[in-house]
Amino acid sequence: MTNKNYNQNNPERGHGADGLRSGIITFFSQHKVAGNLLMILMILFGAYGLTQMKRQLMPDFGLELIIIDVEWAGASAEDVEANIIDAIEPEVRFIDKVEKVVATAYEGRTKMQLFFEADTSMSKALTDVQSAVSRITTFPQDIEKPIVAQVVQRDEVCRIDISGPFSEKTLKYFARQMRDDLINMGLANVRFEGARDQEIWIEVPSDNLRELDLTLGDISNRIAASSIDLPSGSINSGDISKQIRSEQLARTPRELRQIEVVSKGSGEKLYLKDIARVFETFQEDSPYRINEKGSSIGLLVSRTRGADSLISQDLVQEYMENISTKYPQSLEVVVYDVFSDSVRQRLTMLVENGQLGLLLVLGVLFLFLNGRVALWVAIAIPVAFLGGLGAMSILGMSLDMITMFALILGIGIVVDDTIVVAEHATTLHRRGMHYQDATTQAANRMFAPVLAASLTTMAAFLPVLMVKNEVGEIISGIPITLSLIIVASLVECFLVLPMHLRKSLKKISQAKQTKPRKFDAWFSHFRDQYFCRFSEITFLNKGFTVIATFCMFCIAIALLSSGRVKFEFFALPESDTIHANFTFTPGSSAYVTEAMAKELGRSARAAEDILTNGKGGLVSFGIGSIGSTDTGRGNLITNTTGNHIGSYSVELADGDLRDVRNPMFIKTWEEQTQLLPGLEKLLIFETQAGGPPGRDVDIRIVGKDMQSMKTAAVELQKQLRGVPGLIAVEDDLPFGKEDILLELKPEGEAMGFSAEDVARQVRNSFSGSVAKRFAEDTEEIIVRVKLPAAETKQQTIRDIYLRSP
């Protein structure tokens, strides 16, 4: 056996150098141009990727979901189910790749949700559903055109509230101008909130109908026939070509008043202005908004898929800075619920945490390794990260909470790879091996174990990709990001780092011999005297070691199962927006709902005074909605509408700037709220800032009898409300209004009445008859003929005038 003595002060090149330098690792370790060039390419690749990656709170994910929305004004939930749902369901249930169909019927509307299998071509699915619905010929005549749409994920950017001493029509005009301006600036999705559709009402007193022997339907038909805008062909004569149009479309109340209704034999003509009141108004029973100062209209700004949340908010802020020059000074415009602030805050928090972790890693590196070696190991971390970020941009990934979390996890993995190679090269060099051979041999020797360890780590995370549905799509960024970072780390570790280590070890070889650092001496003493002894004891007492390990495992399981370590399926940061949804007895007027919204606004300010000792600054803004509830970004679809429901939302100061936490504010807000008579339900909760849609826990009750299921749901809610930690316990089958059944008597049949004719005249008396629809400023205006509001409020259904056939 031959022993070779390596002297560090006079290192000697080892035998077999040609073999050590063979291969790609040897090539990169000996050619500084190749290694540096590869490092520069990785840095540039990552820098370019950072400029292309979109910043958002949560990653984009697809929804294999299509909704069908059908309106049938005045219809009961039972009629909607029997005439609309039962007609649509057989047509769409067997469309290719439909997983399940969920339909909900309520007064005047139905919403059906079609869930498709994962990886379904949603464009083809949407076309199939539209074709299936268009083939149905049994729909009632009075329904609105069915709306078939794919549900698309859109992250909210912010909300804009517009109010002031103006009419609702003027406020909507300002809101429309702002919407168009924001869209022209590049914001693709801006929509109204609380903006009621405009209508023209023609109110005909019942006395005039009796005198002229007309029905509301007759007047509606005459308006439709007299107000037209149709092409009538073209004239081609010689060199002249002209288009012929028949344009008599009445678009304003003044034009409608001039429509002839009755022409008597004496030659006398009656116009609409002679028998009816014609005026502009807004759709009845449509949701609207109020703030602390009065009526308001809102704009919801959302980012489209692939857009950058922070850039979108910057565009809104830029527009708001110049808004005072375009609109009256008395117009108040407030930007609130800025969801992009959450994006910026969370990303900043993750970056700061990552920087702190990186500093700790660097401190440990410089503590245990030579300064020059530790420097290049530290540089390897950002280089590997930039390489991974460049690959992420090529794959279309975004910089969000999920990928940032994976990047922080990757810090330790990247450091492990480089430390193993650097430490082994340093050890070989200390034993006397030439610095060039030491780096090459260390990289070649460590390649197999480091590769195996990296593949093991990737194998541990890649099964996450097998999780399906929205949750799987959201967390899929973790294994993908880690895998890309690991691959980039391997490239940096074996193709770039050895060349830098060779230069560092060369400097160490040329430096003068110095005394060992005090820390090195202390650590060697601790390792030899204490750690080695402890390891020897655990090895000699195998039984005790196994039992102790098993006991610690049991303790960990007990901590989880006992609830001492809390489990939360999808942990989310505390939100700055609190919602209060409330419901009155079905049939309650909008005035009662509006009064409750104002009471919630008052009690929110009272809670602020109590919690801040009158200093204020806790509640930034408050907005109420009448006729709709706020889902708090948690649900895709809300199934409840009507004047008897409403909500009030408050935006609190930034969580980092206040001491009052959300549970305390919610509790105080509830205590200060005075409940109005007829209130059935009041739920106060904070918004869900990100994560998969839906509630935390869902319980499904299945049965054939609707009343039995509702009874079971009510009893279950009573039990669940007593469980600590549960809030917002409710079901999605609200009580409806009481029904009044119409039954045609034999006397009515003898007079020539039919059930359809009676139902239509009664419906026109209360809901009105739609005479015409026309487009104006990208909106549809409805002309509705109806009885005066005073008559419908005073008379009962038995007093309605019906004209016999």
Average pLDDT of the residues in 419-433: 83
Same fold: 199-234+245-282+745-799 with 577-688: no
pTM, two decimal places: 0.76
Q: Which amino acid is at 389?
A: L
- For the segment(s) 577-688, the CATH number from 3.30.70.1430, 3.30.499.10, 3.30.70.20, 3.40.30.10 is 3.30.70.1430
Task: Say whether pLDDT at 83 is over 50.
Answer: yes
Chain segment 85-94, per-residue pLDDT in tens: 999 999 998 8
In degrees and rounded to multiples of 5, residue 101 shows phi and psi of: -125, 125
CA 3-9-10 angle, 5° bins = 60
Answer with the residue of higher pLDDT: 225 or 393.
393
By CB atoms closer than 10 A (0-12, 13-18, 19+), residue 477 is buried
503 against 354, higher pLDDT: 503
pLDDT of 7 strictly over 50? no
Distance of CA 309 to the CA centre of its chain: 12
pLDDT at 693 over 60: no
Identify the helix (H) or strand (E) that includes residue 33. Answer: helix 32-52
For 160-182, what is the mean pLDDT?
90
CA angle 200, 202, 205 (to 5 degrees): 155
Mean pLDDT to the nearest integer, 302-312: 80
Q: What mean pLDDT comes out for the span 119-133?
A: 89
Integer Cα distance of 114 and 137 in angstroms: 21
Residue-wise DSSP of 726-773: ------S----PPP------HHHHHTT--HHHHHHHHHHHHT-EEEEE
Interval 756-790: pLDDT, tens? 888 888 888 888 888 888 877 777 888 888 888 87
Please report the pLDDT score of residue 17 as a whole number.
39
Q: What is the pLDDT of residue 15?
A: 43
CA distances from 481 to 407, 488, 766 (A): 7, 11, 60
Q: Which DSSP letter does residue 85 get? A: I
Angle made by CA atoms 253, 258, 263, in degrees to the nearest 5 = 140
Helix intervals (H) in 515-648: 518-526, 532-540, 542-561, 590-612
| Mean pLDDT computed over 41-59 | 86
Structure tokens, 476: 């899929």
Six token digits for residue 620? 């930034």
The answer, yes or no, to whether residue 6 has pLDDT greater than 50, is no
Q: What are phi and psi of 196, to 5 degrees?
A: -75, 145
Rounded CA separation 784/565 (Å): 61
Backbone phi and psi for residue 462, each to the nearest 5 degrees, phi listed first? -60, -30
Which range (56-65, 279-288, 483-492) has the least confidence? 56-65
pLDDT at 178: 92
Instruction: For residue 129, give both structure tokens.
Output: 């559903």
Tokens 């601790």 sit on residue: 526
Q: Which residues, listed in sequence order, are joined to residue 532 by a DSSP beta bridge? A: none
140: left (phi over 0), alpha (psi -120 to 50) or beta: beta
What is the number of other CB atoms lying within 10 angstroms of the CB of residue 261?
A: 21
Packed helices 23-30 and 32-52: angle between N→C axes, nearest 10 degrees = 90
Buried b (16+ CB within 10 A) or exposed e, 639-674: ebbbbbbbbbbbbbbeeeebebebeebbebbeebbe
Q: Is the pLDDT of residue 3 over 70?
A: no
Which stretches does DSSP call E strand in 175-273? 189-193, 198-203, 229-237, 240-247, 260-263, 269-271
Confidence of residue 690 (pLDDT cuts 50, 70, 90): low
Give the other-Cβ count within 10 Å of 337's Cβ: 25
Sign of CA dihedral 498, 504, 509, 510: positive
Segment 472-492 mean pLDDT? 89
Give the pLDDT mean for 550-570: 83
How far is the C-alpha of 433 from the C-alpha of 14, rounded, in Å? 7
pLDDT tens across 173-222, in order? 899 999 999 988 888 788 888 888 888 898 988 888 888 888 888 888 88
Average pLDDT value for the chain: 82
pLDDT at 694 over 70: no
| Average pLDDT estimate for 409-423 | 82
Distance of CA 442 to the CA centre of its chain: 50
Site of tokens 């439709």: 224
pLDDT tens per residue, range 606-661:
999 999 988 888 998 899 999 888 766 544 345 466 788 899 999 888 877 888 88
pLDDT value at position 322? Answer: 84
Least confident of 26-35, 410-419, 688-697: 688-697
Identify the pLDDT of residue 237: 58
Is the pLDDT confidence value at 553 over 90? yes
Q: Does position 551 have pLDDT exceeding 90, yes or no?
A: yes
Closest to 193 (Cα-Cα) out of 212, 179, 214, 182: 179
User: Quick one: what percent of the chain has pLDDT higher than 90?
Assistant: 16
What's the per-residue H, E or C state across 137-167? CCCCCCCCCCEEEECCCCEEEEEEEEECCCC
The two three-digit tokens of residue 421, written as one number:
């190679």
Is pLDDT larger for residue 596 or for residue 157? 596
Q: How far is 767 from 761, CA to CA, in rounded Å?
A: 10
Predicted confidence band of residue 228 (pLDDT cuts 50, 70, 90): low
Q: How far apart are CA 640 and CA 159, in angstroms?
A: 22
**C-alpha distances in angstroms, 266 versus 250, 258, 263, 273, 275?**
27, 20, 8, 20, 18
Query: What CA–CA distance (Å, rounded) separates 422 from 415?
Result: 10
Residue 243 has pLDDT above 70, yes or no: no
Q: Reduce the DSSP state of residue 586 to 3 states and report it.
A: coil
Q: What are the pLDDT digits (tens) for 129-144?
A: 999 999 998 888 888 8
Q: Among 12, 29, 125, 9, which residue's Cα sits nearest to residue 504?
A: 29
Q: What architecture is the 199-234+245-282+745-799 domain classified under in CATH?
A: 2-Layer Sandwich (3.30)
At 577, the pLDDT band (50, 70, 90 cuts) reads confident
User: Is the pLDDT score of 700 beyond 80?
Assistant: yes
Instruction: Examine the pLDDT at 10 and tell me if it is beyond 60.
Output: no
pLDDT tens figures, 142-160 = 888 899 998 877 777 888 9
Question: What pLDDT sits at residue 665?
Answer: 92
* Phi then psi dihedrals of residue 17, to 5 deg: -65, -35
What is the distance between the alpha carbons of residues 278 and 272, in angstroms, rounded to a whole number?
Answer: 8
In the predicted structure, residue 801 carries a pLDDT above the cut 70: yes
What is the spatial distance between Cα 42 and Cα 35, in angstroms, rounded to a whole number? 11
Q: Is the dihedral of CA 394, 395, 401, 402 positive or negative?
A: negative
Q: Where are the domains of the chain?
A: 199-234+245-282+745-799, 518-572, 577-688
User: Residues 515, 517, 523, 525: what is their CA dihedral angle, to the nearest 10 degrees?
Assistant: 40
Q: Which two tokens stand for residue 789?
A: 């509001």
Among 229-233, 281-285, 487-491, the range with the most confident prediction by mean pLDDT is: 487-491
Q: What does the block give as tokens for 72? A: 């049938």
Residues whose CB falls within 8 Å of the CB of residue 395, separated by 6 or more in sequence, listed in order: 480, 484
Q: Pick from 395, 517, 494, 399: which is nearest to 443 by CA?
A: 494
Backbone angles phi, psi at 470, to 5 degrees: -65, -40
The reported pLDDT for the residue numbered 45 is 93
Distance CA 335, CA 320 (A): 8
- Residue 609: the pLDDT is 92
Report the C-alpha gap between 741 and 735 in whole angstroms.
18
3-class SS string, 491-508: HHHHHHHHHHHHHHHHHH
* 600, pLDDT greater than 90: yes
Alpha-carbon gap, residue 10 to 392, rounded angstroms: 47
Dump pLDDT digits (tens) for 667-681: 999 999 999 998 888
Tell me what the mean pLDDT of segment 465-482 comes to.
83
Q: CA-CA distance, 713 to 473, in Å (whole number)?
A: 32
Half-sphere CA count of 130, side-chain side, radius 13 A: 10
Instruction: Please name every residue paired with 263 in a beta bridge, in sequence order, or none if there are none.
Output: 269
- pLDDT of 668 reads 94
Strand pairing partners for 160?
299, 335
Angstrom distance (rounded) from CA 772 to CA 255:
13
> What pLDDT shows up at residue 747?
83
